[in-house]
Amino acid sequence: MALIDLARRELQVKIVYYGPARSGKTTNVVYLYKTMNKQVTGKMVTIDTKGDRTLFFDFLPVNVGKIKGLGIRIQLYTVPGQVMYAATRRLVLRGVDGVVFVADSLRVQRQRNIESLKDLTENLNSYAIDIRTIPLVFQYNKRDLAKAGVPILSVDEMEEDLNSTLKVPAFEASAVLGKGVFETLREITKRTIRVVANKLVK
């Protein structure tokens, strides 16, 4: 649930980038951090774990207005995707308001995408959050690899595997090239702020 910082007159909204190891979660967040205006971003914090990283930074979007007189500060987190970091993933999800699920388009990662989505569902359930009601957006990353002749899943296959029942927005992306990165962020931010605002008004 979004936190209110009365000293700053801000509403802190937490968005977590989730997905299997090496799917591009960190690449997304690093790209956003590097290309955003430094006047609106906080410092990036990195927690290194063996073979994977947890990242965090926050920013004040200039064009989303206010909710009940409060400015809105968006906090972006990544989770380590490797199986051994299950406890860390669950911990990072505490207080989450919205999720970007970064799926790996590589054909060899098909089962890992499915397992990671199941892991997300179970971890949200541990906080009494239903994946069908939390703001959620899919990003199908590494679409650029098709041009290099690397076998990748079709968008239809990924939709069938991951989004056939949830039916949430999904974006094709190449996080290393920055394609689809801001589009994904805009959509999850819009959906998350709408839900948070509705809860505050009630």
pLDDT, tens digit, for every residue of 43-60? 888 876 665 567 777 777
pLDDT band at 62 (very low <50, low <70, confident <90, very high): low
pLDDT, tens digit, for every residue of 66-112? 777 777 888 999 987 676 677 778 888 999 999 999 999 999 999 99
* Summary mean pLDDT of the chain: 88
Q: What span, in angstroms and rounded, lies between the C-alpha atoms of 14 and 74?
A: 6
pLDDT band at 117 (very low <50, low <70, confident <90, very high): very high
Pick from 173, 202, 182: nearest CA to 74: 182
Higher local confidence (pLDDT), 26 or 8: 26
The model's pTM: 0.91
Domain boundaries, the chain: 3-201
CATH architecture of the region 3-201: 3-Layer(aba) Sandwich (3.40)
> With 0-12 CB in 10 A as exposed, 13-18 as middle and 19+ as buried, what is 43?
exposed
CB 178, CB 35: distance < 8 Å: yes
